[in-house]
Amino acid sequence: MGMFTGTGLIVKIVLLILIFFSVVSWAIILFKFFQIQRANSESQRFMDFFWKSKRFDAIASQVDRFLNSPLTVLFNEGYGELKKVVEGGEGRSDSNVFSTDLGGIENVSRALRRATNSEITRLEKYTTFLATTGSTSPFIGLFGTVWGIMTAFEGIGRTGSASLAVVAPGIAEALIATAIGLVAAIPAVMAYNHFQHKIRVLVKEMDNFSTEFLNIVQRNIAGK
């Protein structure tokens, strides 16, 4: 705090910006950590329940138990579109209500893709701020350091003294901006890379679930 109060106005503004980036980044890190952790654990539980169940309607009645899983969103969208196709085919003489003419399978596939894209957007929300913090904070801190050193050398020019006792305090106060920039950037970069890996795993699970869901629907159609 003593070094902060001893800096100039520009360096103070830089430090406040960096502190803001750091605080918001840590808030996002904590939020995304719990969000993705719940999504992973509930997705595993949902898949266990999905394969143990024999009917889609039974699964639909229990999806509220897995609200944090992106797979439940895919199931709800796919199952909802499937019901529309079935209801749209009721009363038709054609027994195959999922025929290509009706676009049944393709409609379900599109619903699953829309749900997947929506869930990817939800999971990646706020992570771009972490990437921005990691890439810009060191440069913002460097700007504060350069400005502080310029101010220090200007003071040296005014006093006419270049002794260590005169130079060291100003340079130390300037370097604090780079230090705070790194403190803000390093956790943000590490967290961003970690969350991106976890999100990629969830995306693969969603793709696999969509494929399995469509396979189940197609097998049922082929069995008619």
**pLDDT reported for residue 99:** 41
| Average pLDDT rounded to a whole number, residues 176-183 | 91
**pLDDT reported for residue 151:** 76
**pLDDT reported for residue 104:** 67
| Average pLDDT rounded to a whole number, residues 84-100 | 53
Comparing C-alpha atoms, which of 177, 172, 168, 174 is closest to residue 151?
A: 174
pTM passes above 0.85? no
pLDDT band per the 50, 70, 90 thresholds, residue 10: confident
pLDDT in tens, 34-63: 999 999 999 999 999 999 887 888 888 888
In terms of Cβ atoms closer than 10 Å to its own Cβ (0-12, 13-18, 19+), residue 78 is: buried
Domain borders along the chain are 2-60+70-90+99-222
Q: Is the dihedral of CA 109, 110, 113, 115 positive or negative?
A: negative
**pLDDT reported for residue 71:** 93
pLDDT band per the 50, 70, 90 thresholds, residue 216: confident
51: Cβ contacts below 8 Å, ≥ 6 apart: none
- Better-predicted residue by pLDDT, 127 or 4: 127
Q: Is the dihedral of CA 67, 71, 74, 75 positive or negative?
A: negative
**pLDDT reported for residue 223:** 55
**pLDDT reported for residue 89:** 56
Comparing C-alpha atoms, which of 188, 176, 178, 186 is closest to residue 132?
A: 188
